[in-house]
């Protein structure tokens, strides 16, 4: 009996089940990707010339590094107490009123933003506090008039 040949007629080795496939001889490791050349047209000069760089936006001069202060490009921060004054004017009005007054005093000293927020906190806090005080006074007067007119007497 004759055994089958390990090579096919083309001279390539045949693979048997369970044996690894032989790799072609090369200098690159088998897991590396094949090398690709540069894209077409790379290295050739553009017929339109080089692309211009971007300058500063119109109306704004270029800024130098290390300018002191906030500068024209950076906004001033908003006072945190001014924000809290407006929020608390709706939640707990007397606290919004007090925080608004404190925030306006701070804003005058530091030059921060938020004077309008603090003023709104003062106005809304004062109006809501006044309305609550009037409601309490009206309730006390109504209760006193009911008690004095013997409304609960048998």
pLDDT digits (tens, 9 = 90+) for 58-93: 776 666 665 555 556 678 899 999 999 999 999 999
Q: What are the residue boundaries of the structural domains of the chain, listed by start?
A: 80-148
Helix, strand and coil in the chain, % to nearest 5: 40, 5, 55
Per-residue pLDDT reduced to its tens digit, 19-55: 555 555 556 565 666 677 767 767 777 777 776 777 6
Is it the case that residue 131 has pLDDT exceeding 70? yes
Rounded to whole angstroms, how far apart are CA atoms 125 and 123? Answer: 5
CB pairs under 8 A, 24+ apart, for 110-115? 110/79, 111/76, 112/76, 112/77, 112/78, 112/79, 112/82, 113/75, 113/76, 113/77, 113/78, 113/79, 114/78, 114/79, 114/82, 114/83, 115/82
Model confidence pTM above 0.85: no
Residues 39-48 pLDDT 10s: 776 777 777 7
Work out the pLDDT band at 132, boundaries 50, 70, 90: very high
């Amino acid at each position: 009996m004759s055994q089958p040949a390990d090579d096919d007629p083309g001279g390539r080795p045949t693979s048997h089940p369970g044996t690894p496939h032989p790799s072609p001889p090369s200098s690159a490791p088998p897991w590396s990707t094949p090398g690709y050349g540069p894209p077409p047209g790379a290295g050739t000069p553009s017929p339109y010339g080089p692309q211009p760089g971007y300058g500063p936006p119109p109306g704004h001069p270029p800024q130098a590094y290390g300018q002191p202060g906030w500068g024209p490009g950076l906004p001033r921060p908003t006072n945190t107490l001014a924000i809290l004054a407006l929020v608390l004017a709706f939640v707990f009005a007397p606290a919004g009123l007090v925080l608004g007054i404190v925030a306006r005093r701070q804003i005058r000293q530091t030059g921060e933003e938020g004077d309008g927020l603090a003023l709104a906190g003062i106005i809304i806090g004062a109006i809501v506090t006044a309305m609550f005080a009037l409601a309490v006074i009206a309730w006390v007067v109504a209760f006193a008039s009911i008690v004095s007119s013997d409304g609960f007497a048998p």
